[in-house]
Amino acid sequence: MRTPRERHVFAVLGAVLLAYLLYPFFAFFSGTRGADVTGDLRSPETQEAVVNSLVTAPVATAIAAVFGVPLAYFLARAEFRGKGVVEAVVILPLVLPPVVGGSMLLMGFGRFTTVGGAAEAVGVPLTDSLVGVVLAQTFVSAPFVVITSRAGFSSVDEHLEQASRTMGHGPVATFWNVSLPSARSAVAAGVVLTFARAVGEFGATMMTAYNPRTMPTRIWVDFIAGGIDGVVALSLVLIVISTTVIVAVQRLEKVPTVRD
């Protein structure tokens, strides 16, 4: 058993990384005190970017949750040939550079593709539109809800589900009444993380929908035009959202599950 003195080694090593992570925040806030945050937040371009992000990110999160949670449950309970391939496909958007993901979306949904052309013909462009933003956000953020929810479902005691089935409940009823409530903290955390990833998505969105602007793309435009001081306002908005997400996830982790 390690003594408290020996544990200090781990604390010191961890403190080095913690200091590195904190330093950019300190440098950012101390070096941008002259920025006109209030004025920038009042600008129509900034407000439009905030609205676009807060409209599209919930839609992308809802799409990811509606289809991702069932997939997570299926992966947690089923064994089948090719399961590793399915899991790899789910994880792949997390490890791909976002610009590569955006290029792939353009190849699949661009206006000169079969799918994109058909959508354009009926007045629903899949790129350079809010729909394009949702496509990009969903592609890069959906893995979070699948991976987190799967971990939650895997921790649910299968005997509870079997008991539900022996009482005459079908698979869907068992999922709604037993599995989902038991894994609700993990599922909710996955949904929150998905929203955070969607609202902060930049690379794929730049490729598929540079216009209309979202907060990340607006930050890039403002940086090109005005340097660091020009991005302070929207950066603060995203920091507030990210902090809120962290607090929400921490509280969700403390919510007792049905099996508790």
- In whole angstroms, give the CA distance from residue 171 to residue 174: 5
CATH number at residue 223: 1.10.3720.10
Provide the pLDDT for residue 260: 47
Q: Is residue 30 part of a domain?
A: no
Structural domain total, the chain: 1
- pLDDT value of residue 142: 96
Residue 27 domain flag: no
pLDDT digits (tens, 9 = 90+) for 100-120: 999 999 999 998 999 999 999
Q: Which residues of the chain have pLDDT under 70?
A: 1-5, 34, 253-260
Burial 232-253 (b: 16+ CB within 10 A, else e): bbbbbbbeebeeebeebbeebe
Structural domain contains residue 23: no
**Residue 16 placed within a domain:** no
Q: Which domain holds residue 143?
A: 37-253
Yes or no: say if 141 and 202 are a contact pair by the CB < 8 Å rule: no
In a domain, 18, yes or no: no
Q: Please tell me the predicted confidence (pLDDT) of residue 205.
A: 94
